[in-house]
Amino acid sequence: MREQDYMKIMNGLREDYISEAVNWDGTAQKNRRSIRRLSLGVGAIAAAMAVVVGGIGYGIYRDRLTANPQQENSEITIEKLNILGGHGELHGYLTTSGDCFFRDNTYFYGGEAKWAIDGSTPLLHTEDANLPELLTDGEQIYTQHDGNVYITDSYGEETLAFSLGQMNNAKRIQKLANGDYFALGFTTVAASELPADGVPMPHTEGGFSALNGVLYHTETGESDVILSIHDLTDSNSSFSQNLQNFWMHQFGDSKDGWYYWDSDHDNKDDLYHSVEYLYFNDDESNEDIGFKGLDFQPEEITGFAVHNDTLWFERLTKSANENGESRTFTELYTMQRGDAEPVKNYRGDYDFAANVPENDYPCYSYFGERYLYGVMQKQTDAGLVFQVTRHAYDAFDGDQTVFEMPVSELFGDQIPNRLERPEYMAFCDTEDYLFFPLPQKGANGELIIQVNLKNGTWFSLGENTVPQMQGEADITDQTDAVSPELLFRDASLESGYCSPEQFPQYYIPAEHTAADTDKIECYRMLPFAKASESALDTAALGEHLPDGGAWSKRDPDAPRMTFEDAFRLITGGSVVNGTEIMEQLCKLSAGYDAEAHLDRPEISDREFWLDDSGKDFFYVMLYSHPESPQDYYFAEFYYFTYDEAQKQYRYVFLPARSAEQVSGKQPDGTNFLGGTGTVHPYSGSADGVLFAEDDAYYYDLQSGMRALKNGENPALVFEPLPERVLNRYYWGTASCRLMSDGQFFYMYMHDSALYRINNDGEEQYLMCPDELYGKAETIDSEQIRFDCLHLMDDDKLFVLGISSVSDEKATLYVPFVVDLKTNVVTVLDNPDLPEEALYNYWDSSWYAGDCIYSLTDDGRTLEVCRPEGSPSYLDLANDAGVELGNNTRWYIDADKRLWFEQNGDSYFVELDVFSDQYLVPQKSPDANAAEVAGLLNGSKKVVSMHRENNQTSVYVRNPDGSDAQMMAGTGDVNALAFYNDNGVYHFAVRTADDFAEEVAFITHDGISVSADGVKYP
């Protein structure tokens, strides 16, 4: 066998098999349940919690794991590339000039270019990429070859749409409402086939090309030539408009005027009859058309559209101003069927013409499917600006400015004296983004502007520069529009049809057919209400609800909750806690929801109906504390919809914290606090102290404040953090606890999981409380919180878990380690220890090397826990009488030296605990009146405060006991925090007197010291 043959065969293996193999992790496969849990996200976390409370929740979780086994590998499967070589489904869009654009998960494609939707690439040429030529009508995507037009899916699977017949090549295709197709394209007619009654001129030897508009009847396979325009060599011939429901064409000289094609109608006869000439320069038009003749010359009309039987058009005209100078104006008109005259359209602020004449900067209208767009240069107080506005045809309450920029800034020295009509301008509106080419190249090579319509951010695209995001982003409104159907197509979400095992309350037995839909005896809200009781007989419903259940009737005047609102709230809103999401849903639904309790008081269900049929609703399952039903642990969210074809409900599980949609990841390149550069957290000497800094700001996160570093020294003043940051991390509530290990910030979501916040805001899932269950006997069903994080090395995080229990019991501490690479949790616990001997002090555990040192509650015994094997113990209270009392701060440095305050005497001793050997403690020489503040990360040094005569100094103490003063005596220090960045020490010292609080941020590089003082407002 030839080697090259072998190579070829192997090169033909499917990519997903290769991906599966190279990503295979045998160790991980052995712990498949963990992987599943990770891939399923917090939804699984919530479900896994059900292991504790038992019952239906666990059943759902188990079913979810087994329902779709291939989902296990979803993380390691290479996605099939779409027909344009990208990832994800393709969607087609038409611009206002009828050009076709496409998008997938990553790129916009059009012409011979593409660019990343998120602005991560410049404008890229694709002419060498040998991509297929595609057409779209905004809904379907078409290819054409072999004389046929095909509908293609995103991956090139084609279905015949129609045969082109004589047409050589379709330029525009549109599926009409009745299923027929209309296409515009060129047909070459041989000279021999020319009609005898006249040869259109000019023509070529071989014949001539005609532009045909052809209606293709899909049922019969026949076609009708609607338009046949032969005189195509005239330079005035051009396509003018091509809208989703409207085709028109300008051709030839002025006598031919405009054709239009209105495909709003379902009846093909109407369609056919609506194809008529529309003359603007005389009154010969057919009255059936409804738009009678106008006095304008056709060349004055620069564009028009028909929307809801109203003709919109723009007229470009010239007149002289008071100085006799010729000026150009644009005027916007509307005309309804039957109107004798068009009406100059000044609706709301959409008054381009009024803004134009004086400065002779015409503005132009571009007519899209749902919006018309205005482009103008406008004189403002800030100077001349280039402005783009958007205006809905049906909304007359003013236009929306979607882009505005000083002309000088945009175009530099090449400021156009006046904006010539940018004939090639066009707008592509995808509802979430709008992009358009500039009328001339920008000062920095900008060619295209892309605006995020959700939050107003935008960037410009050139050929050689990576775009920079501009504008103010609102992170709370980042959720892209998503439809229910898209949800069900999302492979990352668990979805399916109801089964008796999964959702018996929504399962409809198969024997029920469409014929007896009204007799269906399936139930909603568990066995409480028949699904067919769509009239919402709340009185009857109430009879079915057990104690504690309730049905809230909706205020008939209250606005209906929409799918988008509910979806955004659950998966992408600023609310980050499941039970709070549920409460927000209650508000959003205006009280229109049902609640029922099952036989287990800790589980309840709620439905939020989107319409009165009950076929479309959001479902929330709530788990609460067994002893305190009003305190919910967590919530699971599902969207349900009735599938008419399958006669069954479909559901999709909605993770309440979808990583993509809820992540605090910043869209504009800033870090997660809204500043720039790396965020450096300070380790604090007191609980809750969270100072941080980056290149731009100092932060006091406990207070939700920041101060710009380059402010006017020395008067830096804190200001509130941006709302989006405050909302994101929920300061001041129990819903989110932000912690730091001295290098990273971590976020613990109440009822949920522990995340590490990366600098850009990406939230890296680490673990959830349920992963502790079963790993230590001391952990029972009580809720676990996390505290006291220490990064042991680059890939291990020590965490102290705290089990909240009833008042009678001592707080339970569970030290454990999370491997940051594998997310494997190792609990450092000794089941042999009596519960009372466990850790009940804050800061009572510390790590050094591979060991965790924990103090028992008598303060006399140090437990040394290792990842493997039994713990050992050090008795501290022997000859030296070392006793670490309640709230004593103590640390073990990297050399396994124990640093602590001697009880009541405030001095240091050293204790070598290397290899668990106990040595006689030595009093540190300058330890009087000192207070241990903590270890300086990445060093072997301890930070301490010395208090004398109401003055506090800050020292860094070396392993040998010597120290260096970092800050001279100052007033009453109420917080000290610090970090080490490659040998440069940073301190934040908060002091207060009777009048004000201030933080000194001190930088000490061993030689020089610099400081900024920041005052609180």
Partner 1 sequence: MSSTSDAQIISLFHARDQKALSETQQKYGGLCHSIAKNILGSREDAEECLNDALYKLWETIPPAKPNNLAAYLSVTVRNLACNRRAAAKAAKRGGGELDVALSELENVLASPEQPDAVLDTRALSDAMNRFLGGLEAETRVMFVLRYWGDLTIKEIAEKCGAGQSKVKMTLLRTRNDLKAFLEEEGLR
> Which residues between 325 and 364 bind partner 1 (CB under 8 A)?
none
Its sign, for the CA torsion 886, 888, 893, 899, is negative
Asked if 920 interacts with partner 1 (CB under 8 A), we say no
Residue with smaller CB distance to partner 1, 24 or 396: 24
User: Using CB under 8 A, which of the segments 76-84, 169-177, 520-528, 996-1004 binds partner 1?
Assistant: 76-84
What does the alpha-carbon distance between residue 634 and residue 46 come to, in Å, rounded to a whole number?
6
Question: First-to-last CA distance in the chain?
Answer: 81
Asked if 560 interacts with partner 1 (CB under 8 A), we say no
User: Using CB under 8 A, which of the segments 12-20, 483-491, 583-591, 728-736 binds partner 1?
Assistant: 12-20
Residue with smaller CB distance to partner 1, 370 or 796: 796
String of contacts with partner 1 for each residue 447-466, x by CB under 8 A: -------------------x
Asked if 676 interacts with partner 1 (CB under 8 A), we say no
Largest CA distance in the chain: 123
String of contacts with partner 1 for each residue 285-324, x by CB under 8 A: ----------------------------------------
For 677, the token pair is: 């550069």
CB of 744 to partner 1, least distance (A): 11
For 856, the token pair is: 């028992």
What does the alpha-carbon distance between residue 847 and residue 450 come to, in Å, rounded to a whole number?
51
CB of 120 to partner 1, least distance (A): 5
185 contacts 164 by C-beta, under 8 angstroms: yes
Residue with smaller CB distance to partner 1, 30 or 553: 30
Comparing C-alpha atoms, which of 946, 924, 917, 949 is closest to residue 933? 946
> Which residues between 21 and 60 bind partner 1 (CB under 8 A)?
21-27, 29-30
Asked if 157 interacts with partner 1 (CB under 8 A), we say no
Of residues 76, 225, 708, 824, which one binds partner 1 by CB under 8 A? 76
307 contacts 96 by C-beta, under 8 angstroms: no
Asked if 423 interacts with partner 1 (CB under 8 A), we say no
User: Using CB under 8 A, which of the segments 119-127, 364-372, 947-955, 976-984 binds partner 1?
Assistant: 119-127
Asked if 6 interacts with partner 1 (CB under 8 A), we say yes
Asked if 205 interacts with partner 1 (CB under 8 A), we say no
Asked if 3 interacts with partner 1 (CB under 8 A), we say yes
Residue count, binding to partner 1 (CB under 8 A): 48
CB of 745 to partner 1, least distance (A): 16
Residue with smaller CB distance to partner 1, 70 or 326: 70
Asked if 73 interacts with partner 1 (CB under 8 A), we say yes
String of contacts with partner 1 for each residue 746-765, x by CB under 8 A: ------------x-x-x-x-
What does the alpha-carbon distance between residue 668 and residue 472 come to, in Å, rounded to a whole number?
9
For 575, residues 6+ apart whose C-beta sits below 8 A from its C-beta are 569, 581, 584
- Backbone φ, ψ for residue 273 (5° rounding): -70, -20
Residue with smaller CB distance to partner 1, 116 or 545: 116
Burial class (CB in 10 A: 0-12, 13-18, 19+), 492: middle
Calculate the alpha carbon distances from 773 to 21, 421, 520, 819, 835 in Å: 32, 69, 43, 17, 16
Asked if 993 interacts with partner 1 (CB under 8 A), we say no
Asked if 535 interacts with partner 1 (CB under 8 A), we say no
> Which residues between 783 and 842 bind partner 1 (CB under 8 A)?
794-795, 820-821
Comparing C-alpha atoms, which of 285, 284, 329, 334 is closest to residue 311? 334
User: Using CB under 8 A, which of the segments 113-121, 308-316, 373-381, 625-633 binds partner 1?
Assistant: 113-121
- List the alpha helices (DSSP H) in 663-795: 723-729
CB of 793 to partner 1, least distance (A): 11
Asked if 857 interacts with partner 1 (CB under 8 A), we say no
For 133, residues 6+ apart whose C-beta sits below 8 A from its C-beta are 143, 144
CB of 905 to partner 1, least distance (A): 43
CB of 14 to partner 1, least distance (A): 5
Residue with smaller CB distance to partner 1, 371 or 746: 746
Asked if 470 interacts with partner 1 (CB under 8 A), we say no
Burial class (CB in 10 A: 0-12, 13-18, 19+), 97: buried
For 508, the token pair is: 């409809």
What does the alpha-carbon distance between residue 222 and residue 228 come to, in Å, rounded to a whole number?
17
- Angle at the Cα of 463 (from 460 to 468), degrees rounded to 5? 35
> Which residues between 936 and 955 bind partner 1 (CB under 8 A)?
none
Of residues 55, 62, 87, 334, which one binds partner 1 by CB under 8 A? 87
Tell how far CA 652 is from the center of its chain. 19
> Which residues between 595 and 614 bind partner 1 (CB under 8 A)?
none
Asked if 2 interacts with partner 1 (CB under 8 A), we say yes
Residue with smaller CB distance to partner 1, 80 or 587: 80
E strand or H helix at 63: helix 56-67
User: Using CB under 8 A, which of the segments 16-24, 469-477, 686-694, 695-703 binds partner 1?
Assistant: 16-24
CB of 22 to partner 1, least distance (A): 5
Residue with smaller CB distance to partner 1, 11 or 66: 11
- Angle at the Cα of 412 (from 403 to 99), degrees rounded to 5? 50
What does the alpha-carbon distance between residue 358 and residue 355 come to, in Å, rounded to a whole number?
8
Residue with smaller CB distance to partner 1, 215 or 679: 679
Of residues 19, 178, 188, 401, which one binds partner 1 by CB under 8 A? 19
What does the alpha-carbon distance between residue 985 and residue 104 come to, in Å, rounded to a whole number?
47
Of residues 34, 121, 254, 903, which one binds partner 1 by CB under 8 A? 121
String of contacts with partner 1 for each residue 630-669, x by CB under 8 A: ----------------------------------------
User: Using CB under 8 A, which of the segments 13-21, 244-252, 419-427, 582-590 binds partner 1?
Assistant: 13-21
Asked if 4 interacts with partner 1 (CB under 8 A), we say yes
799 contacts 754 by C-beta, under 8 angstroms: yes
CB of 16 to partner 1, least distance (A): 9
What does the alpha-carbon distance between residue 499 and residue 187 come to, in Å, rounded to a whole number?
56
Of residues 38, 51, 67, 124, which one binds partner 1 by CB under 8 A? 124
What's the order of all strands across the beta sheet hosting 784-793? Answer: 784-793, 796-803, 812-819, 825-827
| Neighbouring C-beta atoms of residue 132, cutoff 10 Å | 13
- Backbone φ, ψ for residue 931 (5° rounding): -130, 125
What does the alpha-carbon distance between residue 915 and residue 715 come to, in Å, rounded to a whole number?
51
CB of 116 to partner 1, least distance (A): 7
Asked if 965 interacts with partner 1 (CB under 8 A), we say no
CB of 115 to partner 1, least distance (A): 8
What does the alpha-carbon distance between residue 583 and residue 317 come to, in Å, rounded to a whole number?
58
Q: Write down the residue that tokens 């009847």 correspond to.
A: 217
Residue with smaller CB distance to partner 1, 28 or 880: 28
For 406, residues 6+ apart whose C-beta sits below 8 A from its C-beta are 382, 383, 384, 385, 386
Pairing of strands 1009-1015, 716-717: parallel
Gyration radius of the chain over CA positions: 36
Asked if 9 interacts with partner 1 (CB under 8 A), we say yes
Asked if 392 interacts with partner 1 (CB under 8 A), we say no
For 241, residues 6+ apart whose C-beta sits below 8 A from its C-beta are 96, 97, 98, 247, 248, 249, 303, 304, 305, 367
330 contacts 323 by C-beta, under 8 angstroms: no
Binding site for partner 1 (CB under 8 A): 1-15, 17-27, 29-30, 73, 76-79, 87, 106, 116, 120-121, 124, 466, 758, 760, 762, 764, 794-795, 820-821
